[in-house]
A and B are shown apart, each in its own frame.
Chain A
């Protein structure tokens, strides 16, 4: 549908990720490396899950019909589990790498696990978004649009928003997941896996975009709030930030004495 839709959808889907990259990741080369390795891990996980799906299809004999849909659901669920498995694997890798990083660079402090959680989550999210949306995006550049057989004309827009939600969700899940692993608390891990399954399952309701998209956004908001608290925020810090009391805090507290 021409360049307007192409750029609009690209910015919708990848705008937040681009902003995060420019301001937080691009400044430090080490963070870039961790981002890319995270993306790579996600890609490997998807390779494995696509292999599983391929084998499942070959076993059932490539028939058409309702079995296709069941196979797809099965494939998606298996893929979610494998992605989370690889997130865990990346966590273990980073834990081991921390020791090595300290010896390479004794002067600079090694990045904290919280930062690595954020970077890895963003890496997962960016790769997931690119993988799922780039194909649709390239088709949107052509002169035509979806809908000649009665499909929804808002396909591109909804896909873009869904991709945006998934990217942000991956970032939040990364933070929560790593924090749970650090504190040896298994409930956050379970929550992450369950919400991931829930969001993926919601996409099966497409093209009823209202239900799937709105629910996904609500889940994103809740997960975001949880991640904010996990990352070290609190109501007090939020109030302080919003009321711009940070600079004057010490002075203020001194003056009030």
Chain B
């Protein structure tokens, strides 16, 4: 994990890197690519749900539960934190809180995507051993 990614990713990302081997040399990038592909649909669903009046907080909570699960699977620390906050607002029935948090979530999501793209580009240039963080 490069310095640029620190704070945005947690130890789960390191676990993913541990799974990379000769048989699965691009495992992390494949998982992350799938994550951004699948979660784009979830984000759209949440956006549409946030446009409804009145808000269906159960539906929003359920969608965010799923999104949090995916995000935590790749170690997306800040995205996960916003998911948790969003769900708290859902439980409180606070629509404005949900909308505000969702905007922040999308920012963190986009920022992480850029950082990961740069990370994988670097990994391709120097090789995975140089960029992965190996526990001592």
Q: Do A and B come from one complex?
A: no
